[in-house]
Amino acid sequence: MRVHEGSLDGSGLRVAVVASRFNDTIVQRLVDGAASCLTKHGVADDDIDLYWVPGAWEIPVVAQRIAKAGTVDAVVALGLVVRGQTAHFEYVAGESAALGRVALETGVPMSFGVLTTENWEQAQDRAGGKMGNKGWEAAQAALETATLLKTL
């Protein structure tokens, strides 16, 4: 059996991070985690571009435009949607997940680091708390996928 997998060597890769400004107290921690992961694994600071969008709803359209421009090897999407007492959560969380469709349309990996939590405590736990940093994990997934695609 031949096994194919990506690596965490980000040398020479160009990565866009698209982050939601809404709930930025948590999202900034995700951004910091993603940036730390990328640079630790060899992505040069000059090869990382950070795009701030108003909220998680706007992430897919900006990620799509970046991917279609052909200037990046991967996109890391970061945000936070906390469930409230209305259906708003369902709409925003669902639309931010459209990144999968964007990846298929463009061929550029989209790593989904948009937290969808029941409460603020869960968000804190996943942004550098006891559940780790999902921004770091999203960046790692982007690196592995981008490097695997380069071998195909």
CA distance 104 to 60: 12
Question: Is 35 within 8 Å of 73 (Cβ atoms)?
Answer: no
To the question of whether residue 112 is assigned a binding role by annotation, the answer is: yes
92 labelled binding-site residue: no
H-assigned helices in the chain: 24-40, 59-69, 88-96, 99-106, 120-126, 134-151
Q: Which of 11, 54, 68, 88 is catalytic?
A: 88
Question: Helix count (H) and strand count (E) of the chain?
Answer: 6, 6
Q: Determine if residue 99 is labeled as part of a ligand binding site.
A: no
Place of tokens 């349309």: 105
Q: How many CB atoms lie within 10 A of CB 65?
A: 14
Mark whether 41 is an active-site residue.
no
57 is in an annotated binding site: yes
Evaluate whether 22 touches 40 at the Cβ level (below 8 Å).
no
Confirm whether residue 2 is marked as ligand binding.
no
Is 80 within any annotated ligand binding site? Answer: yes
Question: Is there a binding annotation on residue 71?
Answer: no
- 56 among the known binding-site residues? yes
> Which residue ranges make up the annotated binding site for (2S)-2-hydroxy-3-oxobutyl phosphate?
85-86, 126
> Which residue ranges make up the annotated binding site?
22, 56-58, 80-82, 85-86, 112, 126
Q: Report the catalytic residues.
A: 88
> Which residue ranges make up the annotated binding site for 5-amino-6-(D-ribitylamino)uracil?
22, 56-58, 80-82, 112
